[in-house]
Amino acid sequence: METTNIINQIGNTPLIKLKQVSELTSCNIYGKAEYFNPGESVKDRAALYIVKDAFERKKIEKGGIIVEGTAGNTGIGLAVVCKEFGLSLKIVIPKTQSKEKKDILKKLGADLIEVDAVPYSNPKNYIKQSKKIAEELSKKHNHGVVWGNQFDNTVNTKAHIETTANEIWSQTAGKIDGFTCSVGTGGTLAGVSIGLKNKNKDIKIALSDPMGSSLYSFIKDKKLESKGTSITEGIGTGRITKNFEKALIDDAFQTSDEEALNIVYDLIENQNIILGGSSGINIAGAIKLAKQLGKNKNIVTILCDDGRRYASKIFNKEFLKSKNLPIPKWL
């Protein structure tokens, strides 16, 4: 019987036509279904490249430790990859992230350190704490300790140039007019924008940003200013990362949680697809980009992860009520 290891299943995810929003815009809007990855999110791609790069640069060997600060999905991707490479994993995560993601990390064998959610400017920010922990561990560990540094490690962008962008180009047979997605590290948007524009410079690239993030104003006005808040996890930021610096962006859209969640709930009802809030932000951006480009255009976005990862929030009537967010009639 022919078998394959799990990390060989990272990538080559399906491209799904989103019927309702395609009809709404008179365009073809497609979602790259990244929840088909082994770790069930787009972050598996960056995780694999970060670990492979550490081995290639001889910074780590079997028995070594990867340390990362993550909102959850990169950690889950790293947990999957680290198991295959015989590595230990230490994750620093904000306490505000969903219980479901934290439970998955623990089940996959990650050593979880939960910290208060504070801005990046604070020395106790989860990213800065993860770097410090990696530096301390490296002084006493013989098999190598690597800080993943997903936000500023540009192998993240490389992963999406070499895989995601090429897959989208192939799956659309080169007939793509626009691409949009949100930003956490910036790796997906940077890599896909570079990869697609290398093939056709006229493809329009747009940022899809949640409220509370500063990137929309940065693209529009060159100012890092934010307004509002969002319950979405892993996207939206107040700083320009090394990955985001590389992104080739033509425009930006901003979307409220209410708009994003209504899209998520409609997809469950009409297409049996269960997605997280970040995918709702992405699809909202795709709708806006489609309306901007006009009829009969082909737009692609990222379906980041499975919505059941956020059930305690987006499928929790009491939580939604406390945030004055829409509650689907079937909940």
> Which residues carry out catalysis?
43, 278
102: nearest Cα among 311, 314, 323: 311
Q: Answer for the pair 72, 110: CB distance below 8 angstroms, yes or no.
A: no
The two most distant CA atoms of the chain are separated, in Å, by: 60
Tokens representing 231 are 């319950």
Q: Answer for the pair 71, 78: CB distance below 8 angstroms, yes or no.
A: no
Tokens representing 151 are 């936000």
At 107 the three-state DSSP class reads helix
**238 residue type, one letter:** G
Q: How many CB atoms lie within 10 A of CB 212?
A: 18
Which helix (H) or strand (E) segment holds residue 128: the answer is helix 126-138
Q: Answer for the pair 329, 268: CB distance below 8 angstroms, yes or no.
A: no
Residues constituting the chain: 331
